[in-house]
A and B are shown apart, each in its own frame.
Chain A
Amino acid sequence: MKVLAVSGSLRAGSHNTLLLEEAAAAAPAGIDVELFDGSLIAELPAYDQDLDAEGDVPVSVQRLREAWAEPDAIIFATPEFNGSVPGGLKNAIDWASRPLGEAPLLNKTVTVVGASTGRFGALWAQNDLRRILGIAGARVVGEALPVARAQDGLSEPTRDALRSQLDLLVEATAVPA
């Protein structure tokens, strides 16, 4: 099973990107976690319906849609900017929530984690992101996983929680009997 790991933080040395690298390293057997190239988020134009013409979308949008459509599931790690989801990540989700009825995020199994250097582990951003992804059509599983004081490194319970989050993705991706 292939899981794409999307960080909402674009900076080098991001705690959220590191969190996803840890998730990839901790992934149970049979789960292939691949880090998404965050530079693509930076290349996207701001969502504009005038640019969203069938068969004629910007190349960066086409690449994003293909990259998010292909995996079985996606794990998002979000920092918190001004109490919510970074604008670049929200913009990428807006692009990936279209076209209606065949969007890459439609029925895609997703989960959300987040890290911050403060005490709250990007909890507000994670809650907003879960709501946004649900409205965009995704199957949002698990609970928020707030990783506080990320500069201190990851604890073993946090690694266990990351593994559990990946296990939930596997369970939820399986088609019910």
Chain B
Amino acid sequence: MSTIETIAPAGTWSADPVHSDVSFEVVHAGVDVFRGSFGEFSATLTGDVLTGSAKVASVDVKDEQLSGHLLAPDFFDAARYPEIAFSAAHLEREGTALTAAGELTIKGVTKPVELTGTISDPSVDPFGNERIGLTLETTIDRTDFGVSWNAPNQSGGDYLANDVRLIARLALKKEL
């Protein structure tokens, strides 16, 4: 990027959980996209530093049995690794395009990741809150983080893809 712009006006901007969403998508059975999300998470933007975390136990999918399996050692091992964390010490903005190079920790494994997305200019809602919209996403190989469960499709190939798309759509509200 040729110029580095200020990411957001000075202050601390925190995710408003009602209007934000942290989710994941993975190709399922080789043909469709399965989606899940985390109900409890936090994210904070200060200057060009973005940090966030999600409670693994808050994983939300449409099947209670599957939720249980996702929390077990086969997948996230929530009892030992209760949190997923992300931090980016340096964000870059060009217009509305945003890049965040940082580190992602899942199941106790920390890896460098680069997320891309968009950021809005601030607005003020009807109640006087200053807000910024921010989206970021990346695709990781879940097996790099030890989330390796799989099963063979009867027609060949794996039931779950290794590549998982992570998406954060954040409504950031300026802290008073």
Q: Shortest CB–CB separation between residue A74 and chain B, in angstroms? A: 14
Q: Shortest CB–CB separation between residue A143 and chain B, in angstroms? A: 15
> Which residues of B sit under 8 angstroms from A38, Cβ to Cβ?
none
Q: B68 at interface (Cβ–Cβ under 8 A)?
A: yes
Interface size class of A (residues with CB under 8 A): 10 to 19
In the bound complex, CA of A107 to CA of B69 (Å)? 11
Q: A138 at interface (Cβ–Cβ under 8 A)?
A: yes
In the bound complex, CA of A69 to CA of B108 (Å)? 26
Q: A139 at interface (Cβ–Cβ under 8 A)?
A: yes
Q: Shortest CB–CB separation between residue A95 and chain B, in angstroms? A: 15
In the bound complex, CA of A149 to CA of B8 (Å)? 71
Question: Contact mask B102-117 → A, CB, 8 Å, 1/0?
Answer: 0000001000000000
Residue of A nearest to B57 (CB): A101
Q: Shortest CB–CB separation between residue A164 and chain B, in angstroms? A: 20
Contact across chains for A138 and B68 when beta carbons are under 8 A apart = no
Contact across chains for B72 and A107 when beta carbons are under 8 A apart = yes
Interface residues of A in 129-177 (CB under 8 A from B): 131, 134-140, 175-176
Contact across chains for A135 and B73 when beta carbons are under 8 A apart = no
Residue of B nearest to A134 (CB): B74
Q: Shortest CB–CB separation between residue B67 and chain A, in angstroms? A: 9
Q: A20 at interface (Cβ–Cβ under 8 A)?
A: no
Q: A125 at interface (Cβ–Cβ under 8 A)?
A: no
The one of B68, B80, B108, B149 that contacts A101, using a Cβ cutoff of 8 Å = B68
Contact across chains for B68 and A107 when beta carbons are under 8 A apart = no
Residues of chain B having any CB pair with chain A under 8 Å: 64-65, 68-69, 71-74, 77, 79-80, 108, 149, 151
The 8 closest A-B pairs by CB, nearest first: A139-B73, A137-B72, A134-B74, A107-B79, A100-B68, A135-B69, A176-B108, A176-B80
